[in-house]
Amino acid sequence: MRNLDPTRAKWIRFRMGLLCGTMAIGLGGFVSSAFRVQVEDGATWKETAENQRQRRLHVEPKRGAIYDRNGAALAASVEVPSISGDVVEMLRGIEGAPAQQVAIQDLAVRISAALGLDPNDVHAKLASKRRFVWLKRRVTADEAQAVRDLGDPKKTPRPVKGLAVEGEGRRYYPGRDLAGPVLGFVAPDGFGKDGLELSLDEELRGRAEEVRGLRDRSGRLIFSEGTTEEGAFAGHDVQLAIDEGIQHVAERELNVAQRTYETKGASIVVVDPSTGEILAIASVPGYNPNDYSESEVEARRDRAVTDRFEPGSVMKVFTVAAALGGGTLKPTETIYCEHGNYQVANVTIHDTHENDWLTPTQILAKSSNIGALKIGLGLGEPAMYAAFRRFGFGEPTGLPLPGEAAGVLRPKGRPWFDVETANASFGQGISVTTVQLAIAMGAIANGGKLMEPILVRKISDTRGAVVKEWTPHVRREAVPASVAKTVAEMLTAVVEEGGTGVEAAMTGFRVAGKTATAQKVDSATGKYSEDKYTASFVGFVPAEKPRLVVAVVLDEPMIGHYGGDLAGPIFRRVAEASLRYLGVPPSHSAPKIKTVTRNGDPADATLAAMKIDGAGGSAKGDNGKPDGKEGAPALAGVVGPPAPNGVRVPDAMGMGARDAVRMVGNAGLVPLVEGTGRLVKQIPSPGTPAPKGSSVRLVFEPAS
């Protein structure tokens, strides 16, 4: 710059200095910003970067299983494929809104064809342009393969990106409708609905977790951090006290009874009286939790715990027990039963049979209302009410099932009047549940101890460690052991000759129990109905060392209505099969009961080999003969008048199943139907004398 004009050289030096200064300031600012970003604000920017490159994966835990007492699965979770989509990935490389709209329309058509969906519904989901959207959940194997083919370049010239086949848990019930109302079901959102699935939902469902993972450009998971061990947050397993074998027998018997007697509903509870464990609890109509959406809401109700009903004569057991325990009644005392008619205040009480002097045992065996009310009035309202409460009536049993009813003993805030005390003594004006009856009768069977009912035995985690366990627990003493033993012995007379429960008697075992036939209140009139009844039988066996308590309740049977005739045989068949299943040998000292001789096991014949066909159904033993009294098949050739307490088989030939069953039932016989259509054969034949309560085989064939 020596050759330059001094003025110009000075200007050049000024500009160079200005440029260098500007660059120095800029570099300083850059370094300062870099320091602030990387050092001072480094933690914040690092978190932002991590959020951009990581994905939060919502891991739904595997739902715990439900097992019976022997480890048989009643409810389990299986993995089924579900289809999800990343719309952003599907549209990658397609620029402009018009082009993307055309692409979405094409994708909706192709995806809907593979999954069998409405294209409009698929289009609406894709139009959201979200990174994750469920296209169809719980698909079939064919649908999953069709989706894989859509994304395979080897199978389609225009593969669809962003589709994913993901495993998702689905609840499966191996027994189909076995214990359906007890188990409940699981909705698509993963939450339990009804039954144990609802009440134990928190334990079964486990805890959901979020796992951070790295996904590549295609959205595939290439790395994850945090807890990924499935068992760390999986749901707990539940073991029930229910025995699958006994539950199966109980449900089959109820289904047969519902078809034969055309009941509105029915329930049965089988309890081990020494522990309070519920071995079976069933109600009909039932449903299949695998297809719960196809069932009626009414069928999902567990009638054994939710339905209240007037128990009728079975309450006489607890009235007598209370009086014996209170010292107002002696076992050998005789009570005048007024020849079948007795007035309390302005109400006249009737007995079905006219009786005069009866002992407490005879009052139970003949089911005398008048005898029971005199015992109740002699005990007094406060003492009888307190005794019923000691047996667990008027309070929930505490089972982990939703909607359990407590029953009703008396209007709140006031004691019973004399008429109400009289009615309550034989089971009118109060309401109970089937479970309450079973547990209360268990207190008679086990020596006077009211047990805490056990439906769930234990809850354990995936490693097998017990989280919670239920063991036998005595709630309180209902009556002294000596009183319970006395009443148990009295109840054996109910199933012996002259009692109301002879149909419940078993060969090789002494049975103790009580029948009940209770009129239902007509909701329209507020009075007792003339044609709507609740028939029940509650008992235990063997009477000396009880292993089972069985409570059977039939709601509004159309064919007959007496508890001994309808519920008694159900008790017998369930108890026979269950005792054989449990390996309980018959007692040689037990009285022999006259029953039909059948090939195979007498306890299982009407269950294991039974066929149900058509509207009328079919019930046939394993040798093709009806299930009835001894000698019933041979009655076809008998002539002459019917034996005492016997009837003639009515002529129902040519009738439909409903009319024929009703006619035979009204004659005091038990109809066993086979086939559908019109009646073509009766065994025994029409007009044949037969013992009341014996079976008549009705064979139906379709009209030609």
Segment 181-220, tens digit of pLDDT: 999 999 877 889 899 999 999 999 876 555 555 655 554 5
* Between 321 and 597, the higher pLDDT residue: 321
Mean predicted confidence (pLDDT) in 22-38: 84
Mean predicted confidence (pLDDT) in 676-688: 85
CA angle, residues 663, 664, 669, in degrees to nearest 5: 145
Mean predicted confidence (pLDDT) in 74-88: 86
* Nearest-angstrom CA–CA distance, 147 and 157: 14
Residue 524 pLDDT = 82
Smallest Cα–Cα separation from 548: which of 443, 437, 449, 445? 445
Residue 34 pLDDT = 81
Residue 494 pLDDT = 94
Does residue 661 carry a pLDDT above 50?
yes
* Nearest-angstrom CA–CA distance, 309 and 407: 8
Strands (E), 200-254: 209-215, 221-225, 237-240
Residue 530 pLDDT = 86
Interval 242-272: pLDDT, tens:
999 999 999 999 999 999 999 999 999 999 9
Say if CB 186 and CB 63 are below 8 A apart.
yes
Say if CB 438 and CB 549 are below 8 A apart.
yes
Smallest Cα–Cα separation from 557: which of 263, 311, 265, 303? 263
Q: Tokens in use for 266?
A: 């029915």
Does residue 528 carry a pLDDT above 70?
yes
Q: Tokens in use for 478?
A: 């209902």
* Residues known to be catalytic: 313
Interval 14-28: pLDDT, tens:
888 888 888 988 888
Helix (H) or strand (E) holding 663: helix 657-666
Say if CB 335 and CB 375 are below 8 A apart.
yes
pLDDT level of residue 282 (50, 70, 90 thresholds) = very high
Identical fold between 244-289+306-462+472-593 and 632-701: no
CB atoms within 10 A of CB 243: 23
What are the residues whose beta carbons fall under 8 Å from the beta carbon of 568, sequence distance 6 or more?
495, 501, 502, 503, 504, 515, 537
* Nearest-angstrom CA–CA distance, 182 and 607: 22
Measured CA to CA in angstroms, residue 548 lies from 142, 439, 443 at distances of 49, 11, 12
* Nearest-angstrom CA–CA distance, 202 and 211: 21
Torsion of CA 495, 497, 503, 508, to 10 degrees: 70
Torsion of CA 288, 292, 297, 302, to 10 degrees: 40
Torsion of CA 28, 32, 37, 43, to 10 degrees: 150
pLDDT level of residue 614 (50, 70, 90 thresholds) = very low
Mean predicted confidence (pLDDT) in 330-342: 90
Mean predicted confidence (pLDDT) in 411-430: 89
* Nearest-angstrom CA–CA distance, 313 and 297: 31
Helix (H) or strand (E) holding 51: helix 42-53
Q: Tokens in use for 554?
A: 């039939």
Beta 341-344 vs 133-136: how paired, if at all? unpaired
Choices 3.40.710.10, 3.40.50.300, 3.40.50.150, 1.10.3720.10: CATH for 244-289+306-462+472-593 = 3.40.710.10
Does residue 98 carry a pLDDT above 80?
yes
CA angle, residues 249, 250, 253, in degrees to nearest 5: 85
pLDDT level of residue 634 (50, 70, 90 thresholds) = very low
In the chain, domain spans: 6-40, 57-240, 244-289+306-462+472-593, 632-701
* Nearest-angstrom CA–CA distance, 294 and 288: 9
Choices 2.60.40.10, 3.30.499.10, 3.90.1310.10, 3.40.30.10: CATH for 57-240 = 3.90.1310.10
Residue 130 pLDDT = 86
Does residue 350 carry a pLDDT above 80?
yes
Does residue 335 carry a pLDDT above 60?
yes
pTM here is 0.72
Smallest Cα–Cα separation from 219: which of 110, 104, 79, 57? 57
- List the single range of 104-108, 388-392, 608-612 with lowest mean pLDDT: 608-612
Rounded to a whole number of angstroms, the CA Rg of the chain reads 37
* Nearest-angstrom CA–CA distance, 162 and 151: 8
DSSP class of residue 37? I
Q: Tokens in use for 45?
A: 């920017």
Say if CB 699 and CB 680 are below 8 A apart.
yes
Q: Which residue has the tokens 């698509």?
A: 188
CATH 3.30.10.20 is right for the domain spanning 632-701: yes
Q: Which residue has the tokens 């962003």?
A: 162
* Nearest-angstrom CA–CA distance, 574 and 556: 21
* Nearest-angstrom CA–CA distance, 476 and 449: 6
Helix (H) or strand (E) holding 365: helix 360-366
Over 417-452, what HEC string results? Answer: CHHHHHHHHCCCCCEECHHHHHHHHHHHHCCCEEEC
Residue 309 pLDDT = 95
Q: Tokens in use for 270?
A: 């089988």
* Nearest-angstrom CA–CA distance, 339 and 582: 45
Say if CB 81 and CB 166 are below 8 A apart.
yes
Mean pLDDT across the chain, nearest whole number?
83
Residues in the chain: 704
Measured CA to CA in angstroms, residue 270 lies from 66, 218, 247, 467 at distances of 19, 58, 8, 27
Smallest Cα–Cα separation from 484: which of 532, 441, 454? 441
